[in-house]
Amino acid sequence: MTADLLENAPDVRPSQQPMAEGAVLLRGFAKSLEADLLAELSDIVAQSPFRHMVTPGGHRMSVAMTNCGSLGWVTDRSGYRYDARDPEAARPWPAMPPSFRELARQAAAQAGFGGFSPDACLVNRYQPGARMSLHQDKDEHDFGAPIVSVSLGLPAVFLFGGLKRADKPQRFRLEHGDIAVWGGPARLRFHGVAPLADGEHALMGRQRINLTFRKAR
């Protein structure tokens, strides 16, 4: 291969990039685990399938969700909460696979948050057009713990706002294998995801899946 071609090749090495105080993007950090993550995901979804939940205001979410771990995030007409049971399956959420927990712990430590021990993993599935409007994550008890997110499949535009809803969001492209960690002063910032552009991902097809690890209790 010529020197020219090498210079133009995409950089596929993991790298670390600060997004803001308390927020770190670990590019490619989950890539080497993709096969394991997908196999575990298919077991989780077989037990607790993706579903479109309804907000307290009565809107059906465009993102389909499921959970693993001792607690799962749910919404219905009565509100948002963490629940030990899958209300559709009427049994506990699937256990969090040790490989999920370990990946989240290592990513948090890499970002400067040692000792992260998530009890909840919300799994979000975006198909083309699905979006998540600006919101804060504040249903957890301890805002001292960070949130770790793993992106798989089609790329998305992540909207990273401020501490007020009206603060203009910055935009970050999140790609397959990227992990983002949000803690400290970034923990309560408004954030969302722009409507997913259609495309075809070699491993995941026409979708994006995001794992968000939280310490809910």
Give the Å distances, CA to CA, from 207 to 24, 46, 81, 201. 24, 18, 26, 8
Q: Helix 98-110 and helix 34-47: axis angle, to 10°? A: 130
Closest to ligand MD3 by CB, 40 vs 212, is: 212
Q: Which of 74, 103, 114, 127 lies closest to 180, judged by CA?
A: 103
71 binds, among ligand MD3, Fe ion, none (CB under 5 to 8 A by kind): none
Residue 140 binds Fe ion (CB under 5 A): no
Q: Which residues bind ligand MD3 (CB under 6 A)?
A: 122, 124, 132, 137, 147, 149, 180, 182, 186-187, 189, 191, 193, 210, 212
Binds 187: which of ligand MD3, Fe ion, none (CB < 5-8 Å by kind): ligand MD3
The burial class, CB within 10 Å (0-12 / 13-18 / 19+), for 152 is: buried
Q: Rounded distance, CA 72 to CA 92, Å?
A: 9
Q: Residues comprising the binding site? A: 73, 80-82, 124-126, 135, 137, 139, 165, 191, 208-214
Q: Decide whether 3 or 147 has the Cβ nearer to ligand MD3.
A: 147
Closest distance of CB 4 from ligand MD3, Å = 37
Number of residues located near Fe ion, criterion CB under 5 A: 1
